[in-house]
Chains A and B, each alone.
Chain A
Amino acid sequence: MDIFRGLKDYYWQNKGLLWGSVAGLAIATALGLVYPLLLKTLIDDMIIPGRYEGVTGLTLLAVSVIVVKAGFQYVHGFWGGRVGNRLAYRLRNACYEKLQQLSFSYYDTARTGDLMSRLTADIEGIRQFIGFGFAQLLNTGLLLVFGFAMMFTIDWPLTLMTLVMIPVLGYVAIRFEQNIHPVFRSIRAAVGRLTVRVQENIMGVRTVKSFAREPFEIKKFVKENVDYRDNHLSLASVWAKYFPMIEFIANVSVAALLLVGGWRVIEGTLTLGDLVALSGMLGLIVAPLWTLGFQINGYTQSKASGERLLELLNQPVAVKSHTKSLVLDDDAVQGHIRFEDASFRYANRDDLPSALLGFELDAPAGSVIGLLGGTGSGKSTAVGLLLRAYDVGEGSITLDGIDIRHIELQSLRKQIGIVFQESFLFSTSIKENISYGKPNATMDEIEEAARLAQADGFIRELPLGYDTVVGERGMGLSGGQKQRIAIARALLNKPKILIMDDATSALDMETEHEIQTAVRQVMAGRTVFMIAHRISTLRRADEIIVLERGHTIQRGTHDKLVRQPGLYLETYRIQYADRPEDLDHYEKNADGSGERRVSG
């Protein structure tokens, strides 16, 4: 019940509708009890004594009872549906808002599929139960209480006898619930595995085909398919075991009533009319009982769903604005970034050492900082901390001298433009994708940003130009094209701080060079962070920091680093010096052309 108390905010506003729906169902059920009574009157008081004059009136009464009952049935359905829908609407909005707020650290471990199923299947489960299941369960309870109370007034010993059935049925229903629960869980798992199997096969289709391993893939798939089938069959076994059993128990009580009641009629201690009435009522009580299994099932399912939703809704937000946080004046921001002894360790990954340790950096406005290092060296972590994707563990980061934790989150992020390692585009037009961070951007601004990112040319060649829809369901773009759109998106805002996290890996050198030049123009006087594997990308940075396992192992300009043994020089040699004479060629060339060089 705690679960439903936790979700109260989402349905209690409609408690009027909720109780109205329950009342509608209860009245409809009560009217259902009236109909057999009318039939009894028709037969006993009119047909058998031959007093036919009241037949028309009684028939019309019976018909109007049916119609009114249908009306109340509709009241229940209509209001129940509304309650469920409003609940679903509020709950879904709340979950979505929560998803927007949760920090990067949450998404590092969350799975898309799991979140999706919470916002769809789990909300559906709650909708069904609050909208209909709750009223039905309550109705079954009311029917039991009132039905047996009415029976009690007719003949209490017989009623007590039939009541024996209730604990038996209750026991069976609980057993059913206990048995069905694990089956549902393993079905969920089987569905998940089947989906993953197919998804993997389709995503990896090129690998599958290139190794001609289709038969193997089919074998793997069949295994999951068998598993899926067998799980559903064990579900069917549980149904097959309990559903007919519940019906049988109910039927036995009807037969027992007929036997004992009939015996007492023969003995003369009960009238036939009473027996018929008792049988009729028992029949009405028993009818919904066999759906009890379903209802209990619906209750536990929705309880589990509610649990998952509350878990999401109560998830703490790791990074948030403080109440007294500062909103920056956009025009006054300089872009001077300082990392002071910044350390960070990913949560829940105690097995790993710190991702970043004692990181120091002073990047005055207008500087370009290059970051180099292998996977897990801490490059992306460093810029993530700046974006406040995560908060530093120790030390601090300041923007123009203000600790970024004291700046309002949105206000901080508005100063930063970022191009992520994986260029994610939304399912919308290229135009909308580029203006994502500034929805009211003009077409000129958009085209300007695209030109800077060397994207304008290929966009114009597309059949619909800037209106071409991209994203998962849209036009397929190459990795390099996506990267250029992502760069345009980051440049459009003319941010004070630009982060390019391995943002040009899929581009050829010429294009990259053009973009570099453009970035330098746009970002003059602003701060740029470049993460890259290519020396040519980092070469012009004011300071290059080489990271390894969270530690800063080298720092300095290109000219300094290329003259000291270390990872930077090694990388340089691989990329440029696979022939030793090439290096000489470069040295000579550089000196000869008289370009900016620090000698020695």
Chain B
Amino acid sequence: MSRQFVYQDDELIEKPFNWKQMGRLLTFVKPYKSDVTKVVFVMTVFGMLARLAIPFLTMKAIDNAIHPKNGDGSLSLLVIIVSIMLAMYGMRWWAQRYTIQQTNEIGQKVIFDLRAALFRHIQSLSFRFFDKRPAGSVLVRVTNDVNSLQDMFTNGVVNSAIDIVQLIGITVILLVIEPKLGLAIMITVPLMFIVSSALRKNIRMAWQVVRIKQSRINAHLNESIQGIRVTQAFTQEKENIGFFDGMNKSNIRSWNKASALNQLFGPIIEVTSAVGTLILLLYGTYLIQSGTMTVGVLVAFITYVGSFWEPITRLGNMYSQLLISMSSAERIFEFMDERPAVPEKEGAKPIAELQGNVRLENVTFGYEADRPALKGINLDVKAGMSIALVGHTGSGKSTIVNLICRFYDTVEGRVLIDGTDIRDITIDSLRSQIGIVLQDTFIFSGTIRDNIRYGRPDATDAEVEAAARSVRAHDFIADLPNGYDTEVEERGNALSVGQRQLLSFARALLADPRILVLDEATASIDTETELRIQEALATLLQGRTSFIVAHRLSTIRHADCIVVLDHGEIKEMGNHEELMKRPGHYRNLVDAQYRFLSA
């Protein structure tokens, strides 16, 4: 094998059953407690009654109506008994219908609540949370992990309750009708228990291996489809096919093993239950022979014992299912227990209309504890000023704007807006007055209009259009098949980078923030759009405090103040003319642009 792709695996360990987590899951069922009780009641009383009554009625029909020991058969009695049977069947029809409907309703509501709670919680989490996780892993929690609990909540909870009732019911019936024979058969229960739990544990482990291999395959598939152009350009198709074959083979091998074990389960249980049959028939006929039991009882026992193993097997399956669900539950609760890294302070007040004065006082910050990204930054920005932040990757430009937006909290020092520490302002009111245009503009699926309106949902169509006109986006929008109502799919792929950027300018302008942040917003703009962007920027910046992170000289040089950063510290500050007058980082940077041009 040529190349080894690396895919992180989930751990393969069998965790003990976690009651605390189960309790936590059950709190989501709590609101529907009375519904659960109703279903269990209906199914046990009506559904089970019908089921347990049928063998009895059949017996009565044969013994009393069709072939009574003495006298002739009675057709009218037969009609009556069959009518009762039909009534029982009808009752069972209704009870089952009700149960299926209700169990699903309860289950789906629980799943709905759980998913909504999880999503709501994730929305409250800060950037730090998203920084350290690939988008896929968050997605899987909200979709797959929640879905895998679906079966447990729809069928699991109610059916387990029904099964337990049925098991108790049959046990009681067996012991009441014929205690000795009943007890003798109960002896096989522990045997059944030992055999099935040993087998089940192996099956579970085998499936876990399959799942891990499967998720590795999924990861590779996803990657190889997305990277197919690279693969073909570098002619690595054969190598990939070889690699995949290895993965696929190992997956199928584990699947073969799991499947073989899994298929063994049913037959093994049947063989084990044969021990029960052996006892039933031998001991049963012995009891009849010794005159302590009737044939009818034996026939009844055969029927009842048949439906005795059923709930036991189902409960066992349920338990296995539960253990698997537990790992999903664990992952869900891991997210639920995350606390936002930027919490809303108690007593934080919403801020009224901002002026736009921003002050950084001795600000120190690091994304990781031992690596400071900013060291003792002091910056005083008056309302309406435009600040350009310049420096190499990792110099701290973006970090400054991240702190102003309070995507992170400072480690030392503080950020003040109009003289108020931003931690004393509610996060909502702070961010709704700061507009941010990022390098990678995110376009939501929906219409162009909805996208522009994102920051201010109540804007009228006229306002949307006016904003688009001001940032020179109107022309290309008007050229689209449905103009402002054109649907953009999958992150706006049909639009060019420049067009997306113009949309995000329109979005920021419409939201009308007092403070505007452009984080490398003009980096990937193509020639076509470059001219328009220049004009758009001028409109956008007018009368606002703005922070511009950029490489392009054309974007930077009109700023009121240019801040040159290096390794988290401010090296130079001043406007273009001032900085050009003295040798330093900035002048080197500007010179370099021309030097490379003529070099």
Contacts and interface: CB of A to CB of B under 8 A. Distances in A.
B540 interface: no
A375 B232 contact: no
Interface in A245-261: 245, 247-248, 251-252, 255, 258-259
Given A69-B270, A265-B67, A210 B112 contact: no
A243 B100 contact: yes
Contacts of B78: 258-259, 262-263, 266
A77 B74 CA distance: 48
A578 B554 contact: yes
B126 to A, nearest CB: 8
A426 B594 contact: no
Contacts of A92: 217, 248
A143 B553 CA distance: 82
Interface stretch (B88-96, B169-177, B409-417): B88-96
B307 interface: no
Interface string A60-103: 10110011011101101110111011101100110011011110
Contact of A74 (B120, B264, B436): B264
Contact of A262 (B61, B131, B239): B61
Nearest to B124: A214
A498 B112 CA distance: 53
A97 B111 CA distance: 38
B108 A47 contact: no
Given A262-B61, A414-B235, A473-B7, A78 B263 contact: yes
A218 B249 CA distance: 42
Contacts of A428: 3-6
Contacts of B499: 375
A102 B227 CA distance: 13
Contact of A200 (B6, B434, B491): B491
Interface residues of B, number: 165
B6 A585 contact: no
A509 to B, nearest CB: 6
Nearest to A50: B289
A119 B560 CA distance: 56
A104 B266 CA distance: 49
Contact of B524 (A55, A272, A506): A506
A158 interface: no
Contacts of A476: 131
Contact of B285 (A47, A216, A595): A47
B157 to A, nearest CB: 15
B105 A480 contact: no
Contact of A374 (B139, B231, B498): B498
A574 B244 contact: no
A533 interface: yes
Interface residues of A, number: 167
A533 B219 CA distance: 34
Instruction: Give chain A's interface secondary structure class.
Output: helix
Contacts of A185: none
Contacts of A275: 66
Contact of B6 (A70, A81, A427, A512): A427
A191 to B, nearest CB: 8
Interface string A468-496: 01011110101111000000010000000
Given A236-B100, A509-B593, A202 B528 contact: no
A380 B219 CA distance: 29
B599 interface: yes
A225 B116 contact: yes
B288 interface: yes
A418 interface: yes
Given A39-B302, A100-B240, A195-B139, A582 B594 contact: yes
Interface stretch (B355-363, B372-380, B529-537): B529-537
B308 interface: no
Given A100-B231, A233-B105, A586-B597, A244 B496 contact: no
A6 interface: no
Contacts of A586: 594, 597-598
B445 to A, nearest CB: 6
Interface in B234-272: 234-237, 239-241, 244-245, 248-249, 251-252, 255-256, 259-260, 262-264, 266-268, 270-271
Contacts of A70: 266-268, 270-271, 274
A128 B122 CA distance: 36
B218 A116 contact: yes
A233 B108 contact: yes
A96 B240 CA distance: 9
B104 A232 contact: yes
Contact of B115 (A225, A266, A535): A225
Interface in B412-454: 427-432, 434-436, 438-439, 441-442, 444-445, 454
Interface centre among B221, B232, B233 (most CB of A within 10 A): B233
Given A47-B295, A255-B82, A245 B93 contact: yes
B523 A505 contact: yes
B110 to A, nearest CB: 10
Contact of B267 (A71, A436, A472): A71
Nearest to B289: A52
B447 to A, nearest CB: 14
B100 A255 contact: no
B299 interface: yes
A516 B17 CA distance: 60
A332 interface: no
Interface in B496-510: 496-499
A373 B263 CA distance: 63
Contacts of A255: 82, 85-86, 89
B228 interface: yes
Contacts of A479: 439
A322 interface: no
Given A469-B6, A578-B554, A233 B104 contact: yes
B223 A427 contact: yes
A262 B66 contact: yes
B393 to A, nearest CB: 6
Interface in A299-339: none
Interface in A136-185: none
Interface in A29-78: 39, 42-43, 46-48, 52, 55-56, 58-60, 62-63, 66-67, 69-71, 73-74, 76-78
Contact of B597 (A252, A469, A536): A536
A211 B432 contact: yes
Given A245-B93, A265-B66, A578-B554, A59 B230 contact: no
Contacts of A102: 228
A590 B136 CA distance: 52
A12 interface: no
B65 A262 contact: yes
Nearest to A410: B235
A254 B560 CA distance: 92
Given A236-B105, A259-B78, A262-B73, A66 B524 contact: no
A62 B281 contact: yes
B349 interface: no
A209 interface: yes
B403 interface: no
B292 interface: no
A229 B231 CA distance: 40
Contacts of B58: 258, 279
23 contacts: A85-B256, A93-B245, A120-B221, A212-B427, A214-B124, A229-B112, A236-B154, A243-B100, A244-B93, A244-B100, A247-B96, A259-B82, A265-B73, A272-B66, A509-B551, A509-B596, A510-B592, A512-B596, A513-B596, A536-B596, A567-B527, A586-B594, A589-B594
The 10 closest A-B pairs by CB, nearest first: A374-B528, A77-B263, A236-B104, A375-B496, A266-B73, A81-B259, A70-B267, A437-B234, A244-B96, A204-B442
Given A233-B108, A595-B599, 6 more contacts: A207-B436, A210-B407, A229-B109, A265-B73, A414-B235, A576-B594
